Structure formats: C-alpha cells, structure tokens
Structure 1
C-alpha cells in the first residue's frame, strides 16, 4: 500500500512581509517549543489547509493574507499543492501548475484520484447527485486536533456539515466496511434516481394538466354514455367544423396548465427567499447586538464561528441578495398572472365560438330535454370532445412515465440487493470483532481500563467512548479509539495511507508516567511504514520520542520570520513562472 508523506511546507504572509519553510521526514517528526503559544498547532494545521482542508485556524491568520505550498509524496511520486484563500493549485510530477477556483468539484476529484480516495457523498441540495468530498474527509481519522478531536472524534475540521449524515459512509469506508465497488453501485442507483425524479416531475405536471382540463371543461353526461365506436364516429362528423377551434382550445388548456405549474413552483421559491431574508436579518441583529468579540463558540458542536466585520458584512450581502430574489420572483409571478388572465380570456372567446357550432347538434339531445338541460348540453358537448382528446393523450403519457418509475424502482431494488452482497454478515462481524480486539488491547496499554466498552461494537460507536476514571482516562480512551480506527484503515487499504498528525497528546494533564507511556504507545502503534507528526511541549517525558524524531523547534518568532520572506514568497508563484532552482522539490 502506498503512503502519503508530507515533505515540505512553505508559508508566507504578504501583510507581515514574512515567511518560513519547514521540512518533514518520512517517519517520526516533532513540532515543539518551550512555550504553549508559539504556533505548534497552527503549523500542523497549515499542512492540511494547504491541501484543501479547513482546520480551525486562529482568527488573526485571516488578516495575514497567507498563501501556502506543501510538497508531498504518494508512493514514489512527488506532488505540490498550493492554496491562497479558497483558490487551489496542484502540480503533478513533471507537470505544470493547475488552478482550481474552489476546493470542491474538480480539485477534490483531482486530489482524490492522486490518493485513491473513492468515497462519494450525496449533495445536500440534490440527493440524486453524488460528489467526491473535499480532502478533509480523507484526512479525518488521521488528524487529532488539540481543540476539537480529544472531546469529539471525527471533528478535526470545519465545514463537514456541507454533507448530511456523512459519518456512517466515511467511517465505514476508511475502516474497510465499504469497498470502492460499493460506490460503483451508488453511482448506478443515483443515475436511476435522477431519471426517476425527472419522470415523477413530468407525472406531477400531467396530473396538474388533467386537473385544469376537468376544471375548465366539465364532462357532458352524453359523452360519458358513448361507447368508443360512437365517440369516434361523432368526433369524425364534427371534425371539419371544430378542428381548428379544438386545437386552439387544447393549446390554451396546455398553456394554462404550464402557467399554473410554474406559478406554484415560483410561489415555493418566494416563500424560501422570504424566510431566508428574515433569518439573515435575525442573524445580523444577533451578531451585532448579542455577540461580544469576533468569534462565537457553538455550545452544541463546539464549532468556532467567525463574527468579524467582514463576516457580518457577508450576512448583509446575503440578505440583500435574498431580498433581490424576492423582488425578482414577485415580478415573475405578476407576469404569470397576467399571462394566465389573457389565456383564460382567449379560452372564453374560443368557447364562445364553439357555442355557435354546438347549436348544430341540438338534435342529438333526446326528446323531452328541458331548456336548461339543453343549454347545458350545448355548452359542454364539444368541450367534452376536446377534453377527452386531451385526457386520452396525457393519460397515455402518464402510463408510460408511471411504468418507467416502476421499472426504475425494481432496478434499484436489484442493485441494492447486489450491493449488500459486497459485505456479508459474517464479514461485518469479523470486522467488528477485530476493531473491538484492537480497542481493548490499546486501552490496556494506555492504562485506561475504566473505559466502558459494553456499548461499543464498531467504529461507528465513537460517541459511546466514556471513561469512569475521569477526564484524563477518557482522553486516553479517545486515543485508543483513534489508533484502532487507524489500524483498521491501514489493514483495509482503501486509499493511500496518510501521515498521522496528533496535536498535543498531553490532554487533561496526564500524569507523568502515563504521558510517557502515551508517547511510547504511539511509537509502537503507528504502522511501521507510516509518517507521524506530533505536536508537544518540550519537557522531559518526550525525550525518547525527540531522540527518534526529526525536530522542528519554534521560538518566540513563532512560524513567520521577516528574514525568510523573499525566499519563501518566490516559491509561492503558482503560475508556472517559478525560476530554477528554487522550485526543485526536496529529495
């Protein structure tokens, strides 16, 4: 199995006119300092940020106008990725720089191809569309963030909520419950569902058209009693007189149906835009009047939200856009109302002409018909011919679409049945048992036997990891869980195995003995061919790890240094114009 290995990080700030670059070795690496606020965590986060992940960076970094470059290898090939804002740059071996305007879409596809990440997730806006999730979903189990991951696993990055209910798919893919073939079936099913969705939309329109016909053209009692042969004979007799009027009436009925369908759709959009405008107004009022400072910590999920002036201005911009959409949709509805009124008037005029022809067929009414009954028959007789013609046509179309929908549902049931065969019940139970065995073993090594494993059956049960021995023991339980997931991911070989980055394992002030044991555990538990990057304060307990590791020691100047700006900035021209030899990748 190939590994993803970080080789070099280059960072520069045009605002501070400073920069720096850092090299990493293929095995053990240590980012350390004597002080706890000099940028250890930020340096680790920049590795993922440069590749398109969104870790929680300090809000001050937003004003530094930072751009980053990371050199990384997958197997024997070396790549470069750069980021400036949300613009991504990628250079493959012996290739030119490729530019991507955003992280999602083409860049995510390209990165996933490089690392063999084949998981797909349905778009939140349209569940029939499958997307390659951004690189954060690839790195999730391999990055333990100091602020978020120790209390809540699978939470090292922000913006994960762009996909609904992603956890089961991503966790099971990384840990081998889902193989790449699973997503081949998902793509087939999604394509079928898209076709079904289109057919269902057409059926809904047809139902609307039938309702319009029944509303504007009531059925004649005489027409209902006619047999098919009688109806065809009668229709042929009157065809010369009413062919043009009938065609015109059918067109008008179709137009009215389309207008009403479009009006219903626009009304729904108007309601959504109105709600969005109102909610954004409340958000802005809350951000200005109820939040102190430029950040807001969500009490439910721990996400740190930006509340700076640019963020509040963005809320106002979104509110203006929502109000503009309300005005546009109202204008469209008004135009549709006018078109509907005009079409109804034309329909009334056409029916008046038909009334003249109806008089020719009074003799068709049975003797003894009252004057009122005769008048009703005249007004509905030929309308019924047009109505039945329209209904016969749309009914055939509806039957065709309904049959297609039934066929797609049957096909999808068969695809799901075949998909389930990819992992048998016995194989799932074996994976569960292997995971729990690893977790039990790691908890013993970490002296965290107080963690209750009774409710834990698989990697999906990460929320059930709790220790009875206090916060420190629960933290070691989380570490044991992460390493169990990493062990299973290494065995699954569903993707290039990424570098493991753990930020400050000395959480909850582990006792000296246990902290040293944690570091020894990590050195032994990490796969022998994997890269480990550890962030830790420089203290006696890390000496054995420090001796085995490549050390990056930060000082009071933190990450960025003015003396390195010109050299580093010259490496960050992602347009292919980097002059030799500064663009050579480290060996």
Structure 2
C-alpha cells in the first residue's frame, strides 16, 4: 500500500491580499481555534484542492477567491497539487508541471487514481466504466464538520452520479476482493463495451445482406440452376435458423414470465408483512403500556423504546426490500419486452424469406443479369466482412473468458467473511470504548449498514465505524493510505466526560502508520502529540502580513499552471 503524507498547504487570496501556510506534522496535526476562526474552512480547502467538494463552504471564504497549493509525498516521491477556481495542476517535487486539468471526472480523477494506485472503475449511468472522481478516493479518510457526523460515507458533495456506489466503494476499500480483482473486472467490462460496435456492425451487415437477397429474388438469384439451388438452400437454412431462434426466445420469455410471477408473489408477501409490522408498531405505540402480559403463560414483557424501535427497523427493512424487488420486477418486464421485440423481428424476417421462396422465376433481362452479378459481389464482400467481425468478437470473448478465469482466482469467499468479521469486531470494540451501547447487531455484520443511533450517541457511533474501516484500509496491501482528517468531533453537545473520551479515543486509537489531522475548539485537556496550529482571529484565518512572502512562494506554480507548460 502506498502512503500519502501531507507536508504543507499554502492558501493565497490575491483578492484580499492575505495568505496562510500550514506545515503538517508527519504524525499528528491539531488545528485549534474558537468558532468562526476559519479552521473548518482551512480543512475543507485541503480536500477541495484534491478535487473533492465539501458539503458547505462559507460565502466569505468563496468570496476570497483562494488559490491553494498542497505539498505531499507518496512513499518517497514528492508532489504538489495546485487549484484555483475550477482548474488544477499537478507538479513533481522539483516544481515541474506534470499536467493541468479542467475536468475533475475525466482528467484529474484518472491522473490522481494512477498516482494513488486506485484501480476501481465504476459504471456510470450511461453504462460506461470510468475512474470515479477524487471524492470517492478520499471518502473513508474525512469526517466533515457539517455533514460527516450524520452518517457514513457522506462528507462530500455530488456523490449521486453512480448507482449503488457505496456498496462498491466499501467492498473495494475494505479489500473484500483484492485490487487485482477490480482491475480484471474493469477489463472484463471494458471488453464488453468494445463488443458493442462490432455487434452493431454485424447486425447492419445482416440487414444489408437480407435486403440484397430480397432484391435478387424479384428476378432470380442466378441463371445457373445449381447456383440458384444453393441460394434457395441458403434461404431455407436461414429460415430454419430463425425458427430455432424463435424457440429459444419463447423459452427465455417463459423463464422470464416465471421470474415475473415469482417477484410479484414476493412483493405481495413483503407488502403484507410490512402492513402487519406497521399495525404492530401502531398498536405498541398507542395501545400498550410500558409492559405486556402474555395471555398464555402470564409472563411480563417490556414494551420499551428498543422493542418498538426493532419493529420500526424491521418495517424499514421491508420497505428497502420492497423497493429492491420492484426494481427487479421492472428489469424483468423490460427484459421480456426486449425478447418479445426480437421475436417479432424474427417472425417478420421468416415471413419475408418464405415469401421469397414462394415466388416464381420470371424472365431475365440483361439489366437483371448485371444487377444479379453486382449484388452477388456485394454479398460475397459482406460475407467476408462478417467473418472478420465474428473472428474479432471471438478474440474479445476469449480475452474476457481469460480475464474472468483470472478474476475468479482472486475472489475468495473465506477472505471476505474474515474481513467482515474483523470489521464487526473492531466496530463493536470501538463502540464500547466510546460508550455507545445501543447499536443493533446487524450494523456489526454489514459494512454498508446505516447507523441507527440519534442524539449525542450518533457522532460517537460514526467515529467508531470510521476507525474500524480505516484500520482495515491501512492494513491492506492495495490503494493509498491517505491521512485521516477529523473536523469538529464535539458534535451534538457532548458532555465533558464524552468529549474527553472522544478525543482520547482519537489519539490512542489512530491507525498505525497513518497521519492524523484534527480540527477542534476545545481539547478537553487531552494530550495531542505532534504539532498544534492555533487560529486566533475571528473571521480571519488568512493573514495580510503573510501575503507578500507567500504570494511569491506560490507564483512559480501559478505561472506554470496558466501557461500549461513546465519551466
């Protein structure tokens, strides 16, 4: 695994003639200051420089029109990344321009992914495999002040551009499958995309070929009776092939209809179950006291919040399942419609072929003979072209099969089970240390589970989750170990005891061999090793007295960035 180490961050506002430079400690950096001193804006800008957009940036910080430069190391190699507004530049440690980028998704994302060793590809909503933007690479390593404490994997904006991205991302980062599997899986899907154009060409060739044969049939195929017989035999063979296809299509439709009936039945069961749970919850909420007597055995059972919450959770699970089943049903219906459409096309082509076969031979003219020879030549050319395309498709399918065989070797169910169990154990231990005791069992067994807590327990549960996840990432062999950045851990008015516990937990349980950056107001007398950066002025994180010196320091990068060429 590659380790990324933050060295420094330089912020310059030519608009306000102010600047700030922060030098990070290789172990722990504490950015401390009262409210409104700009510490969160500084921390947000760190990720903003790498192309990850935080949920909120203060309007006055935006108005300052800040240019930022972050110096970092990946293992032993040093780099700089520069951002101003919506454009970026990446530099070597010697200040030589490696590349300038205007698009985060199409340009910066792939460049950073290559640098970080981030091999994950995600299918976008157009069905194309692509490297996700930097926000997806940095999500596990940042808890944002404004949104990050409300749940997991939510500290950046614009995360909805991919469907089911969270499950893919957690699986990748936790190493449920190794990096090699994701690289091979991306190759398989890329080969799938490469097949689309040849398949389209092949379908077009078959259409042109069929039309040419149709036109030939209006006069005759050939004055040579033996050649004519060959052409007729070819049509009969094609007709038989279409009949065989129709039988296969009918079989597929039958299977899909069976799946449709099965899904509809499951949906009915889930709807009925959810209605029963809703009734149980309403009854427990309004009609029962704090305890319930069993009419059979006389035992007394609690009707506490946790019992009612469990019912509500089951209902929520039913709702999620119902949504998933309805999506599956829609896909099945779409699949049936697609097969039926192909079946209709086959029926039409079969009818046309049968009509051609039933025609009588007419009189031949010289023009007809010329047309026949031209169309025969076209058919030979199309046959050759189709053969080449089929050979190319065969090569692609062979490469796909080889990639799949290799990928299967890296797909180890036992490995996945072990990792999930380790995640659950660590999450549970962390939760106990942070005195979060109400979490349900399923959150320890599912790496994608939503954290079902509220009030002051929620941020502590979120912290316990992140530390479990990051510890596994850091111990993995693939990807990059980015510094863990935690902003404003005192959420939901934690009492003094909980605040001390939170900060003490962060210091003592930070992942080994991982840099830590923490932004906070009050350290609760917890000892933080490393460097402490104090921001003392209200609404003024940047200093006017630093502007001249720091603006000179950033000028080389600004000039190279604007020119688009290294000096």
- TM-score above 0.5: yes
The 5 A counterparts of 1:558-573 are 558-573=540-555
1:508 aligned to 481, 488, 492, which one? 492
Note the C-alpha offset of 1:138: 2.3
Pairing 1:476-491 to 2, within 5 Å after superposition: 476-491=460-475
Say if 1:146 and 1:188 are closer, same or farther in 2 by CA, change over 3 A: same
1:309-356 alpha-carbon deviations (Å, 9 max, x no partner): xxxxxxxxxxxxxxxxxxxxxxxxxxxxxxxxxxxxxxxxxxxxxxxx
Within a 5 Å distance, the mapping from 1:398-547 to structure 2 comes to 398-402=386-390, 404-405=392-393, 408-409=396-397, 411-454=399-442, 456-459=444-447, 461-462=448-449, 464-467=450-453, 470-538=454-522, 542-546=524-528
Deviation of 1:198 after TM superposition, in Å, equals: 2.2
Between the aligned partners of 1:374 and 1:224, the Cα distance in structure 2 is 12
C-alpha distance after superposition, 1:143-162 (max 9, x if no partner): 01122222232122223344
Quote the offset at 1:442 in angstroms: 0.9
* In structure 2, distance between residues paired with 1:548 and 1:404: 60
Instruction: In structure 2, list runs of 5 or more residues that go unmatched.
Output: 232-358, 561-567
Give the alignment's TM-score, normalised by structure 2. 0.67
Gaps of 5+ in 1: 234-365, 579-587
Cα distance in 1 for partners of 2:195, 2:369 equals 38
Distance 1:2 1:411 in 2: 30
Note the C-alpha offset of 1:411: 4.0
Counterpart of 1:219 in structure 2 is 217
On the 8 A contact 2:202/2:386 being kept in 1, the answer is yes
In structure 1, C-alpha distance between the alignment counterparts of 2:559 and 2:390, rounded to whole Å: 58
User: Post-superposition shift, 1:435?
Assistant: 0.8
Instruction: Summarize the Cα distance change of 1:66–1:388 in structure 2 as closer, same or farther, 3 Å threshold.
Output: same
Aligned residues: 431
The 1:112/1:402 distance shift into structure 2, 3 A limit, reads closer
> Does the 8 Å CA contact 1:446/1:476 hold for their aligned counterparts?
yes
Change (3 A) 1:99 1:518: same
Aligned to 1:168: 167
**Within-5 A mapping of 1:349-364:** none
Maintained 8 Å contact 1:130/1:190 = no
Answer whether contact 2:38 2:539 (CA < 8 A) is retained: no
Match of 2:6 in 1: 6
Are the equivalent residues in 2 in contact too, given 1:96–1:576 (CA < 8 A)? no
C-alpha distance in structure 2 between counterparts of 1:139 and 1:213, whole Å: 57
8 Å Cα contact 2:2-2:74 kept in structure 1: yes
Q: Cα gap change, 1:151/1:186 in structure 2, threshold over 3 Å: closer, same or farther?
A: same
Distance across 1 between alignment mates of 2:39 and 2:485: 12
Counterpart contact for 2:427–2:444, Cα < 8 Å: no
Q: Distance in 1 between matches of 2:202 and 2:474?
A: 49
Report the equivalent of 1:159.
158
Q: TM-score, normalised by structure 1?
A: 0.65
Superposition CA RMSD, Å? 3.4
More deviation, 89-98/64-73:
89-98
After superposition, the Cα gap between the structure-2 partners of 1:404 and 1:16, relative to the gap in structure 1 and judged at 3 Å, is same
Instruction: Report 1:116-127 matches (<5 A).
Output: 116-122=117-123, 125=126, 127=128
Name the structure 1 match of 2:535. Answer: 553
Equivalent pair of 1:185/1:415 in contact (CA under 8 Å): yes
